[in-house]
Amino acid sequence: MYKTFGLVAAFALFSVPAHAQNPAGVEADAARLRADVETLVSFGTRHTLSSPDDPKRGIGAARRWAAAEFARIGKTCGGCITVETLDRRFTGPRALNGVNVVNVLGVQRGSGSPDDVIIISAHIDSRVSDVADFTSDAPGANDDGSGSALVIEAARILSKEKFAPTIIYALLSGEEQGLWGGRLIAETAQARGWQVRALLNNDIVGNTEGQDGRRVADRVRVFSEGIRAAESTVEAMARRGSGGEDDGPSRALMRAAQRVGKARSDIGLEVFGVRRPDRFARGGDHLPALELGYPAIRFTVGVENYDHQHQDVRVEGERKFGDTIDEMDFAYLARVTSLNAALVRELASAPSAPASAMLGGAVTSDTQVTWAPVAGAARYKVYWRRADARDWEQSQETTDTKLTLPGVIVDDHFAGVAAVSQSGAESTITFAGLPPR
């Protein structure tokens, strides 16, 4: 099925909206995802402090396999994906003598605006109960073999298509030691001046049975930041005047995931948008990106099972512990993978989001929205909602860079603007507020 998909998409690109390109539903292959997780588990442990050199066991072997896999996928698309590694030595409480953290990237360079970047990531490292134990078997099937397999499968799917921006498939190391791989890629983005449209972090995306036995197979959670960690004092003052605590760029990215999830009901996943940067009192590799001001969200399962995360593989009485492959649900992982691919496709087919949008209309009965023009935008879509509503309620398209909404009282409404491509693919929505000054 997926072999024919590229052809279908190539024709569809020019005729139908981006979100409708794939009537095939779940494009990801559950059997291939399982095979990749089996391979990742076969390295014994992928602890960041495990051997970087051993040909069979440890994180080095896993990273080399992943790099070879990206290279192999690149060969099938005429070299559209190149492999790059990022590495830096990190030292901290969880690696007292320091360790070389290596991220493996598959880079699908954009044909139009290659400095615009969409990153889809997971962490390849694993751990057991003792975070310092780098020798015991740490299968890390779900945490985060599931996300790693998803990233590789997304590369297989999306490499069949061409996009103006660059897509980076990123397998990060050092997550369990302190989100080091996440910091390395975020700082690399900053140093190289990438215009990051989105970072999608997939961490624990492959189980459907919870700790208490409940099953959640039709929902994926997406965690997002509301108020930006990177907000300056001047920006904070502007936001205090306009509102927008629920409308930061990462929250907008979460809403884009929800929109794509609804448009692609054939994938069969509800996007549960959790209005928090990550799970309560826990973190992930998207957090360093947020700190540098990039839109970033975390995908994770609808329900977690803590007996199968960060645990030594063992049996206590009737109770099994350990992050083993038999606890996973690959049909579910295939759906989460397909949703990620659909979201990347939408964002990569769209122009960039407007860099800024302004709201006007104080002491009148109308609302005015103006925004910065976007290169490559065929038109714009202005969204608005009542100021007590959670989600956008109404929208109107225009080819102009301003729009008046007659009879919409600005005090009582929020507004935002998306840039739209000729094919109908939409950027995330830029919240309209007071200009920072």
Burial of 319 (0-12, 13-18, 19+ CB in 10 A): exposed
Choose between 144 and 209: whose C-beta lies nearer to Zn ion: 144
Tell me the window of 196-204, 210-218, 285-293, 423-431 that interacts with Zn ion (CB under 5 A): 196-204
Beta partners for residue 123, in sequence order:
172
Beta partners for residue 359, in sequence order:
369
Choose between 69 and 203: whose C-beta lies nearer to Zn ion: 203
Instruction: Count other Cβ atoms within 10 Å, centred on residue 372.
Output: 15
Q: Is 203 in the site for Zn ion (CB under 5 A)?
A: yes
Tell me the window of 86-94, 195-203, 274-282, 390-398 that interacts with Zn ion (CB under 5 A): 195-203
Q: How far is the CB of 178 from Zn ion (least distance, A)?
A: 12
Choose between 66 and 357: whose C-beta lies nearer to Zn ion: 66
Choose between 279 and 385: whose C-beta lies nearer to Zn ion: 279
Cα dihedral sign, 316-321-325-326: positive
- Residues 263-302 close enough to bind Zn ion by CB under 5 A: none
- Residues 119-148 close enough to bind Zn ion by CB under 5 A: 143-144
Give the 3-state secondary structure of residue 101. Answer: strand
Q: How far apart are CA 117 and CA 164, in angstroms?
A: 10
Q: How far apart are CA 191 and CA 110, in angstroms?
A: 19
Q: How far is the CB of 123 from Zn ion (least distance, A)?
A: 6
Six token digits for residue 346 = 């939408």
Strands 81-92 and 95-108: antiparallel
Which amino acid is it at 383?
Y
Q: How far apart are CA 251 and CA 179, in angstroms?
A: 21
Q: Which helix (H) or strand (E) holds 194?
A: none
Q: How far is the CB of 285 from Zn ion (least distance, A)?
A: 8
Cα dihedral sign, 311-283-153-78: negative
Q: How far is the CB of 136 from Zn ion (least distance, A)?
A: 17
Choose between 179 and 198: whose C-beta lies nearer to Zn ion: 179
Q: How far is the CB of 329 from Zn ion (least distance, A)?
A: 17
Choose between 179 and 334: whose C-beta lies nearer to Zn ion: 179
Q: How far apart are CA 171 and CA 436, in angstroms?
A: 36
Q: How far is the CB of 179 from Zn ion (least distance, A)?
A: 10
User: Strand order in 394-398's β-sheet?
Assistant: 394-398, 379-386, 413-420, 430-431
Choose between 321 and 380: whose C-beta lies nearer to Zn ion: 321
User: Which positions from 142 to 181 touch Zn ion by CB under 5 A, shown as an x/- string?
Assistant: -xx-------------------------------------
Choose between 116 and 329: whose C-beta lies nearer to Zn ion: 329
Q: How far is the CB of 122 from Zn ion (least distance, A)?
A: 8
Closest C-alpha among 317, 426, 334 to residue 378: 426
DSSP designation for 277: S
Q: How far is the CB of 144 from Zn ion (least distance, A)?
A: 4
Binding-residue total with Zn ion (CB under 5 A): 3
User: Which positions from 356 to 385 touch Zn ion by CB under 5 A, shown as an x/- string?
Assistant: ------------------------------
Q: Is 36 in the site for Zn ion (CB under 5 A)?
A: no
Q: Which residues bind to Zn ion, rule: CB under 5 A?
A: 143-144, 203
